[in-house]
Amino acid sequence: MIESDSDTMRQMHVRQLFRARTPDEHNELGVDLFYAWLEKRHPELLCWGLEDPHEQLCRDLEGSYE
């Protein structure tokens, strides 16, 4: 349960950081640029495991971009 809560907090933080970007970056290219930014500045917010971290980021941001 604690792990689930921490993942929820991680997702909320990721969404908050993404929403802070300019609205013209709320698209697929913007997600790619955001991924690169996270990789450099906040790699702890990406899910490194069995799953592709970029795909997980897309799921985390689902509904936040076009």
pLDDT digits (tens, 9 = 90+) for 8-36: 999 999 999 999 999 999 999 999 999 99
- Give the percent of the chain with pLDDT over 90: 82
- State the virtual CA torsion across 23, 8, 38, 40 in degrees, nearest 10: 160
Res 18: pLDDT: 97
CA 59 to mean position of chain CA atoms? 8
Q: Is 16 helix (H, G, I), strand (E, B) or coil?
A: helix
Say how many CA atoms lie within 13 Å of 36 toward its Cβ.
5
Identify whether the C-beta of residue 64 lies closer than 8 Å to the C-beta of residue 26: yes
Mean pLDDT, rounded, of the chain: 92
Whether the pLDDT of residue 62 is over 50: the answer is: yes
pLDDT cut 70: percent of the chain above it: 95
